[in-house]
Amino acid sequence: MKFTDLGLSPEVLKAVDEAGYTKPTPIQEKAIPYVLMGRDLLGCAQTGTGKTASFTLPMIDILASGRARARMPRSLILEPTRELAAQVAESFEVYGKYNALSKALLIGGSSITEQERKLERGVDVLIATPGRLLDLFERGRILLAGVKILVIDESDRMLDMGFIPDVERIVGLLPKIRQTMFFSATMPPEIRLLADAFLMNPKEVAVDPPSSAADTVVQSLVKIAGERKDKRAALRALVRAEAVKSALVFCNRKRDVDILFRSLKKHDFSVAALHGDMAQPVRTDTLARFKNGEFQLLVCSDVAARGLDLPEMSHVFNFDVPIHAEDYVHRIGRTGRAGRAGRSITLALPEEARALAAIVGLLGHPIPEMTADGVAGWTGGDPSPRGGRRRRTRKRTSDQPRGTPTARNVAPETAQSRSAGTQAPESRNGADRRPAKTAPTRAEPRRAEPARAAPKEPALRERTPVERTPKERPAAAPSRPSEPFGEHTPAFLLRPVDPV
C-alpha cells in the first residue's frame, strides 16, 4: 500500500514525502483510514512502529477545516511524559508544515505563562501531560468543551505512573460526542477496561502481538556472578567489545543512574545521564546533545527514556533487569526501530533471577546467553520459558485491615518501590504528575515456576508518599487503605468485569 491510498490530503502527503517515508507502516495502513472516517480507535502498538504518525497525519487533515477559539482547544493528546509530549509536538511540526494549525504543548518544567498565552490565542492541537493540563484547567485558563478529538497515548504507561484517575477526570471534562483514539503497547485487562470506558464502538488495530519484542532486535543475556561493581566491569567490557554507536543504558533507580554515570565517566566513556529528577531544561538539553551524537552512552531510567524516538540507537543495555517485565519490551524497543537492526544486552545478577523469569515468561522464549570478557557468570535459577513470576500470597497479619497492600494488590509502582529498597522508584516523581493517586494493579505477566536461585523477597514497606505541595497534602493518611484510589473510585472499576 502507498500513502496516496490512505485518503490523506496533498498537503500532508507532501510533508510525509519530505520526511522521507516511502510507504506507510502497518499501523498507519490500518489506522489512518478509520481515523479519517471519524471512527474511535483502539491501537495496540509499540513505539517504533510509526504509531505517532498514525494519529497525527489524519488529525492534521480533520483539523484543517475549522478555527480554534480562545482557550478552547479543538483536540487533545495526552502523553505520560514530557519528552513524549514534546516528541509528538515535533511530529506535528514535521507533518503539519503545509497546514497552518496552531498547537500548544502543556508540560511541567516549562513556562506556564507562555503556555497560557498560547491557549489564549486559541489552539487546534493541545499536547499535554495530565498534571499540567489539570493545573491549567483549575486556574480557569482552559476550557475543554471544544475538544472534538482525544488521543490517549501510551495508556499502559499512564497506568503504571498512576495517571489514570487524572485521565478519567480529564475525559469527564470533555464533550461526550468526540472521536477518541486510545493507544497502548500492551493490553492487560485494566487497559482493556479503560478502553471500553473511553471508546465508542472502536475499530481495533494491532500491529504486534501485545508484549512481543521487535524481531529486528538481537537480544542477549549476560549472567554475572557477584555484585554491582562486577556488573559495571561487565558493562565496560561489553561496550568495548561491541560496535556501540549509540546506546541507552537502563537502570531501575535514579540513584543508580547517577552512580553508573559517574563510574563510566571516570573510565573515560562518552556518557550522559537522564532521569526524571533532573530539571527539565537539563533533560531537554541532554537529550538534544545525545541525539546529535555528542555522547555514545546515555544512562537513564525508564521514565526518562520511554517512547523516545532515537533512530540511530545501535544498542540498549539493561544494566538492571527491569522490575516489570513489560518494561523490558519497551526498553529494547528503543533499538531496532523502524526496521533497523538493533541489539540489546541484559546484565543479570543472581538476585535478579525472578525478574528475569517474568521477562522470559512474557516473551515466551529464553533470552540467548553470552558472556562478557573477564566476568564470571552464574548458573541455576534459570528462568523457565513457560512462565514468569510465581504467584505470591502474603498472609495478612491480624493488625492489618482487609485490603492492606500486599504483594498482589498494591499499585505497581508501590511494588517497585518496595523491591527497590528505600528509594522511590523513578516513575513516582520523575514525570509530570499530580500527586498521590494510585493506579490499579497491573496485570501480572504470565507466571512461572519459581526460579531456583531466586532470593527471598525483601520485606514489604508502606508506600512512599508522592511529593505534594503543603496545600495538597492530606491531613491524615487515606482512611481506607483497602482502596488503592483513595477517595476516588474510577468509573471503570465500578463496571462489571468482562472476561478477557
What minimum distance in Å lies between the beta carbon of 133 and ligand AMP?
A: 21
What part of residues 11-30 is at the interface with ligand AMP (CB under 6 A)? 21, 24-25, 28
What part of residues 261-290 is at the interface with ligand AMP (CB under 6 A)? none
Among 6, 53, 159, 303, binds ligand AMP (CB under 6 A): 53
d(CA 318, CA 275) in angstroms, rounded, equals 15
CB nearer to ligand AMP: pick between 19 and 376: 19
Report DSSP letters for 109-172, one per residue: TS-HHHHHHHHHH--SEEEE-HHHHHHHHHTT----TT--EEEE-SHHHHHHTT-HHHHHHHHH
Region for residue 226 given its phi and psi (left: phi exceeds 0; alpha: psi -120 to 50; beta: otherwise): left
d(CA 25, CA 290) in angstroms, rounded, equals 26
Instruction: Considering only CA atoms, give the Rg of the chain.
Output: 22
Of 159, 161, 174, 8, the residue nearest 76 (C-alpha): 174
Dihedral, 174, 488, 153, 176 alpha carbons, nearest 10:
-20
Among 31, 34, 51, 199, binds ligand AMP (CB under 6 A): 51
The reply on whether position 335 binds ligand AMP by CB under 6 A is: no
CB nearer to ligand AMP: pick between 94 and 460: 94
Stretch that binds ligand AMP, among 46-54, 169-177, 296-304, 374-382 (CB under 6 A): 46-54
What minimum distance in Å lies between the beta carbon of 70 and ligand AMP?
A: 31
CB nearer to ligand AMP: pick between 209 and 458: 209
Question: Which stretches within 249-390 are classed as H helix?
Answer: 254-266, 280-291, 302-305, 325-332, 353-363
Stretch that binds ligand AMP, among 41-49, 188-196, 250-258, 322-330 (CB under 6 A): 41-49
Q: 359 with 388: CB under 8 angstroms?
A: yes
CB nearer to ligand AMP: pick between 50 and 405: 50
The reply on whether position 49 binds ligand AMP by CB under 6 A is: yes
CB nearer to ligand AMP: pick between 54 and 346: 54
What part of residues 159-188 is at the interface with ligand AMP (CB under 6 A)? none
d(CA 217, CA 66) in angstroms, rounded, equals 43
What minimum distance in Å lies between the beta carbon of 302 and ligand AMP?
A: 16
Q: What is the edge-to-edge ordering of all strands in the sheet holding 315-318?
A: 271-274, 297-300, 247-250, 315-318, 342-348, 217-223, 369-370
Stretch that binds ligand AMP, among 45-53, 233-241, 411-419, 461-469 (CB under 6 A): 45-53
Among 48, 80, 276, 342, binds ligand AMP (CB under 6 A): 48
Instruction: Give the binding-site size for ligand AMP (rule: CB under 6 A).
Output: 15
CB nearer to ligand AMP: pick between 183 and 295: 183
Question: Which stretches within 243-324 are classed as H helix?
Answer: 254-266, 280-291, 302-305
CB nearer to ligand AMP: pick between 99 and 404: 99
Question: Hunting for cell 471544544 — which residue is that?
Answer: 146
CB nearer to ligand AMP: pick between 225 and 338: 338
Of 93, 86, 188, the residue nearest 128 (C-alpha): 86
Q: 68 with 74: CB under 8 angstroms?
A: yes
Q: How many CB atoms lie within 10 A of CB 265?
A: 15
Dihedral, 110, 111, 117, 118 alpha carbons, nearest 10:
-10
CB nearer to ligand AMP: pick between 49 and 115: 49
Among 43, 50, 440, 445, binds ligand AMP (CB under 6 A): 50
Binding mask 207-246 for ligand AMP (x = CB under 6 A): ----------------------------------------
What minimum distance in Å lies between the beta carbon of 31 and ligand AMP?
A: 11
CB nearer to ligand AMP: pick between 52 and 179: 52
For the record, the C-alpha cell of 303 comes out as: 521514565
Burial status of residue 367 (CB atoms within 10 A of its CB: 0-12, 13-18, 19 or more): buried
What minimum distance in Å lies between the beta carbon of 284 and ligand AMP?
A: 18
The reply on whether position 338 binds ligand AMP by CB under 6 A is: yes
Q: How many CB atoms lie within 10 A of CB 20?
A: 6
Stretch that binds ligand AMP, among 44-52, 406-414, 446-454, 457-465 (CB under 6 A): 44-52
Q: 233 with 376: CB under 8 angstroms?
A: no
What minimum distance in Å lies between the beta carbon of 339 and ligand AMP?
A: 8
Amino acid at 150: L
What part of residues 309-328 is at the interface with ligand AMP (CB under 6 A)? 309, 311
The reply on whether position 47 binds ligand AMP by CB under 6 A is: yes
Q: Which residues bind ligand AMP (CB under 6 A)?
A: 21, 24-25, 28, 47-53, 309, 311, 337-338
